[in-house]
Chain A
Amino acid sequence: MSHLLRRHPTHSRRPRSRFASPSILWGGGIVLFFVLLALFAGPLTALTGNDPYSEHRSLLGPRSVPLGFGGGISPSHWFGVTPLRGVDLFSIIAYGTRVSLGIGLASTLISVVIGVAIGLIAGYFPGVTDAILSRTMDVFFGFPFLIFAIALSAIVPDSFPRPLLLILVLGFFGWPSIARLIRGQTLTLTHRGYTSAAQVMGASSTHILLNEIMPGLLPLLIVRLTLSIPGRIAAEASLSFLGVGINPPTPSWGRTISDAVAWALVDPMYLIFPGLALFLVTFGFNLLGDGLSDALDPKAVIRAEMTETAETSKTTATESSTRNSAPAVVQQGGNR
């Protein structure tokens, strides 16, 4: 993060050292940790013979508060147990990671498909096509997503699986920032010599888009995706916190946080463990994304953010008026 735009000595930019920055190592480490936690949630909880559903009421004291230090932390219950029902908290967190990451990644996939397609088309076909698509992006971009998602939860039948609903909603509302980036870059890359050369040689539009333009914008796309995942994870947690996301008994960090509120004064660890998990995974992805964007040519990133801005402005006319931006980092779906 703070290494953005540090002046490099003119030569000796070895790629290895660029990608070994503290942001990438720490962010990547945290992300890797949670990915492993999600993958091995089963075996890990099996070590202590726990699962996120079984109740251990014998561990609860009077008024259903867990006995012992830190909400009942013990060798068999690493994060203690929940009040009221005595469910193993580590199991809830571990299986909750699957839900968080799963929804974050799957919805990203949907957004990428929509965003890349629309961005490429809008950037490559100026005129009416671009105008219509850009307007659509603007509307989606500003749409109060959280409010719509809350409202939608009321009318979708209970039989429809909630994780799938969240993936679809997040995926469907998460594409405009990707499309905008792709469009801006496509506009720039279309006028590069190699693209013109391909055009002159009679290559089809599809060929040019996929083989000449796509590779050029892949690095920026990867950065943008990394930075968009925390917003999605936060949005799922927010909706579950509000009681309109993942339904019980499926474990979810957001819902656990909301359950823990009533017990916060007598059993603070019940709130702190899921809260910390949510913070750390978000922080890890943000750190990794920042590190990656620094590792690319930092000036290119700033330039991209500043040109992209031109598109952000609802009506902006000329590409030269490079103002106006809502860069990636701000796409924090559920942070209001």
Chain B
Amino acid sequence: MSVKPIKMPSATKDSTILKIAVEMLNAPDKVPQLIEFDQSQPLSSIIQLLCKPWGLPDPDNYALQFSESNNQNYITEKNRNEIKNGSVLRLEQSPAKTVQDILAKINSGNEIDQTATLAKLSTLSSDLTFALEFINKKGLSLIIHNIESGKFKGDSLKFALITFVELMDHGNISWDILENPFINKVASFVSNQTNTQDPKIIQACLSILENIVLNSSGKNLHVEKEITIPNLISHLQNPYQDSIIQQNAIALINAIFSKADLNKRRAIAATLSSKQVRNVIYENLIGACEFSKNVTKEALGTELAHQLYVLQTLTLGLLEPKMRQRADSQEQESQEKIKELRKIAFDIDNNSLEVTTRHHINNSMKDYKKLGFKCEIDPIKDFNEIPPGILALDCMLYFARNYSEDYRKIVLENSRAVEHECPFGKTSVELVKLLCDILHIGEPPSEQGQTYHPLFFTHDHPFEELFCICIALLNKTWKEMRATSEDFMKVLSVVREQINRALSASPKGFDKFRQRINQLTYAEITQIWQQERTNREVWESHARPIVELKEKITPEIIDLIQQQRLGVLVGGTRFKKYSSRGQRIKDKFWFVRLSPNHKVLHYGDCDEKSTPSLEELGNKLAVSDIKCVVVGKDCPHMKDLRGRKVTPHLAFSLILKSAEESLDFVAPDEQIFDYWTDGINALLKEKMSSRSFENDLETLLSMDIKVRLLDAEGIDIPQDPPQIPEEPDDYDFYYDNN
């Protein structure tokens, strides 16, 4: 292949010159060109220079394109800086020329031509340069018109819809341009269940409708009219199990949900929480998610998880008005609810509830006290705080009605007016507040959120069910902690931990949740906290400032150990006597001790019990005469061990500087061995290295550090060194000290 480089007019050989290749697709006669691409030259003149050797007459009809698999955009003056040295570019028909050809083919071509053209168009449309050109030449209107009129069918329709999605995706065109007939048409592709549609068509239509709902002004109402929730739900069960259809269907439900007024939202939520719909969502999405393990499905899974999170957040959000509504003493409904709580708890008939004599008022106060309300005279005041407002009252009543036995048991157990009781009313209000906080009720869905709880898709009243399990848990934990009313907040902090931990395991249903949370006893939680503290300590012991501090104190500690070892030597030790060949000499002992000035070792024979004084020891060895200490098999008396029972690991010898002499020892145990070898090494200014030395160092050092850090308990040590600021501007201190 002969490549003829083109000489580009370049003034300087600086970084604005890139070496690149340019090729032309489907043109075997056009040999690729290697050129020096000058970033300071306008693109049009570069294209002109490229056209010449290839004999292309009309340079205006050409443009350059990237040729990477993820980027085949046209090169413009704006994005030309993305070209890198060594890039391979393509010379292609210019966007204007391409648009012209495509429009002509759509208008007049036969069906096969049309489909091929639309296929090409659908990929080109993701390029902003092309899209703008196409929209400018009224291409978008043409596409909209032909979709609306039903001119496109089958594959043509598919590619037209994809093109539409891509063109709108650039965000340059307002969604308000769409008229009802177009919306009807798109909606009909979604609602029409009889035709077996290409999944891509349904994907695109769902996405278009979602965008109309979210981004148009007012057209959402029209979409709501055209599309029903059950119809969208049926797409979750689509025969292809296409996860993009599922995801787009949920996204459209979320969009309609979030734009609807409160009444409509309630209606949607009621539809969604009906058992049939719930099961479809659970079986097709949540269940399926758990089984998919391959990578591509998981990547899709994050978007689906986000949509499920949004759905969950919107549904739970319906509780917000109640959470923010204070109970009113005049309000009949709440009064009735409180009476019902009393009725269920104490089996009172309606007559006695209504009577208002002094005697009965006393009775009701007693009952309300037993129910654990803060305000026994007028319990409705307990629901004045928002959150949780009357949502708390509703949860309590739900519990009382649906789990009457458990309810009565909890109330009775805690109404004996003893110190350790857990008041039902007061704790329920706090628990609902806690649940609202954990589940972020009243907050709009976040852009990144992906945390959804499968169990919320398994019940018509998931929040209330959660409350029922957690109020029983709170009672159990209260007892485990042997808590009193002063400990209320501490119990709640444990309960919060229990709920968070049980939810984070994504239990599939309320039974699993109950099981999990009952395993997380108070003892278990304390242990987890303890473990976290320990982990923190381990981390901290390796944190840089602590390591620095350890290094700084280590010499002081070594000095202590040295003093201790020399103390051992001065105190002296009684050794068993061995022959020079390492043979135990029966019943013979000798004693060795260091002089208090640490200069001379005194030694001599002794009996089994005596501790001879310095003067009683006849032999002397000046420390300055010792060359080194050797241990184990290196000792002269351990050289020949054949057939003897002596274990050499307790043996050590002092090798003397003069001649081949040595003083040989066998220590009675490892500690004395360690102490003596350390002591001798210390005398010889050598490093101590025994196992006891390492242990003592660690013991002394870690205690020292702990005591030094007493005031820093509970304070976080920074991961990275703090940034030291510039030195102060002046040193004119306020106080005159120092």
Q: Are A and B subunits of one complex?
A: no
- Measured CB to CB, the residues of A under 8 A from B are none
